[in-house]
Amino acid sequence: MPPHGSKSDKQDAALLHRRDPYEVLGVSRNSTDQEIKSAYRRMALKYHPDKNANDPKAADMFKEVTFSYTILSDPEKRRQYDASGFEAVETESQELELDLSSLGAVNTMFAALFSKLGVPIKTTVSATVLEEALNGVVTVHPLPLGTPISKKVEKQCAHFYSVMISEEETQGGLVCRVQSPDKSKFKLLYFDREETGGLNLALQEESTKIGKVTSAGMYFLGFPVYRLDQTANSMTSAKDPDAAFFKKLDGFQPCEITELKAGTHVFAVYGDNFFKSVSYTIEAFSAASFAEEKDNLRSVEAQILTKRVEISKFETEYREVLAQFTEMTGRYTQEMQVIDELLKQRNEIHASYTTGPPIKRSRSRIRGSFKDAKEDGQIRERKSTRDRPKKKKWFNIHLKVEKRKSC
């Protein structure tokens, strides 16, 4: 029987058979993030399980496309791959995005359970929604600036909104925010218009819990605004809290679009809840009157970028000190045990300095001696009590004799 290959051998074989992510997505190594994202969405839509039922080749291609995008969409993983290939990328921990509409009822229940337990599950927009948008068959409702609209969207469905901005309003910037009062999970989407009139997904923002609501926002302010992918290291936090802390800011990346041109722009709210519809309020407004907030945001994000560099350097120092601390605490425990053993030996040696037999008095013998002494005292007391009447009788007789003599 041929020997079984080790786990590392199987991993090496898998790495050899993987295709170059750039080749899979059909992009060059100099492609921008937006070009990579557009290529991925185009190919993912082409090979999506919803459109290729019972086609194993399409399913494998969809996985390969998703895996390639997982590497190239992450700046750090892309840099590692460009430098050292697949070996530098953590292939076992790659997270795939799930389309909930392609899951069965049972799988959806398990996904919801794991999500509730804190296990991160990345989800993607349903292929049906993306295809309808690309074909231009979705209904788009107008969203006037400064006018919030509250509605309810069904799970794995989307509500589309068009926002009209003038040239003057583009100078001040545009903000689009969505909140859900029942803490439901959703996505805020932004679409580019194709020449054919269809809509192509360009940006998406996951909702996050903030106090008693879930919220998501897009900020087009004329300067790079950063977004934080909070699911990037959520699995790591459960396994290694220290590693999670030092990777906390790795998901802090600039948004691909910094400003919008004058004209009509399309946003959408996608119901990402596992079982129920999502109640939400969407609002778009000009940021011209938020000059102070814009300055504060620019300042805070600059501080976060500085802190990300500092934390990266601090991690090396922390790991060194932690290793020393672990070594010292281990030695402390060892030295304490050695000292206790030496003191015990010393006491035994001191006790051996004697010419007589070792004194071993049990508690039972001590109790017996005390009992004997107590009984002996009681006997003596009874004897003295018996003697008292005799002494008293002798004294009375002696007194009578003396009286007679005096008479």
Number of folded domains that form the chain: 1
Integer Cα distance of 223 and 294 in angstroms: 10
What number of helices (H) and strands (E) belong to the chain? 12, 12
User: Residue 220: what pLDDT?
Assistant: 93
Q: Which of 138-152, 235-249, 265-279, 381-395 shows the lowest mean pLDDT across its residues? A: 381-395
**Range of 309's domain?**
231-251+296-324
The per-residue pLDDT of the chain, averaged, comes to: 78
Q: Is residue 246 part of a domain?
A: yes
Residue 121 scores a pLDDT above 80: no
- Quick check: 406 pLDDT over 60? no
pLDDT score for 343: 94
Pairing relationship of beta strands 226-228 and 213-220 according to DSSP bridges = unpaired
Q: In whole angstroms, what is the distance from residue 210 CA to residue 187 CA?
A: 15
Residue 242, in any domain of the structure: yes
Cα separation, 224 vs 297, whole angstroms: 10
Nearest CA-CA partner of 46 in 29, 24, 27, 31: 24
Q: What percent of the chain has pLDDT over 70?
A: 71
Coil, strand or helix at 154:
coil
List the one residue out of 107, 109, 134 whose CA is nearest residue 46. 134
Residue 114 has pLDDT above 60, yes or no: no
Confidence of residue 105 (pLDDT cuts 50, 70, 90): very low
Distance CA 216, CA 282 (A): 10
Which one has a higher pLDDT value, 336 or 120? 336
Give the tens place of pLDDT for each residue, 214-256.
999 999 998 888 888 766 555 455 567 788 788 888 878 888 7
Residue 28 has pLDDT above 80, yes or no: yes
Cβ contacts of residue 287 below 8 Å, gap of 6+? 172, 173, 174, 175, 219, 221, 293, 294
CB 158 within 8 A of CB 189: yes
Enumerate the β-bridge partners of residue 283.
177
Which amino acid, residue 264? T
Give 2's pLDDT tier (boundaries 50, 70, 90). very low
Per-residue tokens: 196: 């054919």
d(CA 303, CA 307): 6
Burial class (CB within 10 angstroms; exposed 0-12, middle 13-18, buried 19+) of 321: exposed
Query: Quick check: is 43 in a domain?
Result: no
Query: Which pLDDT does position 331 carry in this prediction?
Result: 92
Q: Please say if the pLDDT value at position 401 is more than 90.
A: no
Does residue 320 lie in a domain region? yes
Question: Which distant-in-sequence residues (6+ apart) come within 8 Å of 118 by Cβ?
Answer: 234, 238
Encoding tokens for residue 71?
């590497």
pLDDT in tens, 370-399: 555 555 555 555 555 555 555 455 455 555
* 304 falls within a domain: yes
Integer Rg of the chain from CA:
42
pLDDT over 90 percentage in the chain: 29
pLDDT of residue 196: 81
What 8-state DSSP symbol labels residue 279?
E
For 153-164, how does the pLDDT look when each residue is reduced to its tens digit (9 = 90+)? 998 899 999 999
> Mean pLDDT throughout 256-270?
90
Those residues whose C-beta lies under 8 Å from the C-beta of residue 380, and which sit 6 or more positions away, are none
Q: Which helix (H) or strand (E) holds 160?
A: strand 158-165
- Non-local CB neighbours of 128 within 8 Å, separated by 6+ positions: 50, 101, 156
pLDDT score, position 22 = 92
Is the model's pLDDT at 151 over the cut of 90? Answer: yes
Residue 110 reports pLDDT greater than 70: no
**Residues ≥6 apart with Cβ < 8 Å to 282:** 143, 148, 149, 151, 161, 176, 177, 178, 267, 269
Q: Pairing between strand 186-193 and 263-271?
A: antiparallel
Q: Is the pLDDT of residue 23 over 50?
A: yes
User: Distance between CA atoms of 37 and 15, rounded to whole angstroms?
Assistant: 23
Whether the per-residue pLDDT at 15 is higher than 50: the answer is: no
- Is residue 41 a part of any domain in this protein? no
Q: What is the pLDDT of residues 158-203, one digit of tens each?
A: 999 999 999 989 988 999 999 999 888 899 999 998 888 889 888 8
Judge whether 238 lies within some domain.
yes
DSSP 54: T
- Let me know if residue 281 belongs to a domain: no
Query: Distance of CA 90 to CAs 12, 78, 116, 236, Å?
Result: 13, 12, 26, 12
CB 210 within 8 A of CB 68: no
Interval 328-338 mean pLDDT: 93
CA angle (177, 181, 184) in 5-degree steps = 85
Does the pLDDT of residue 1 top 60, yes or no?
no
- Who has greater pLDDT, 104 or 358? 358
CA pair distance 64, 18, nearest whole angstrom: 9
140-142, strands of its sheet edge to edge:
140-142, 158-165, 263-271, 186-193, 199-206
Convert the pLDDT of each residue in 308-323 to its tens digit: 889 988 988 888 898 8
Res 302: pLDDT: 92
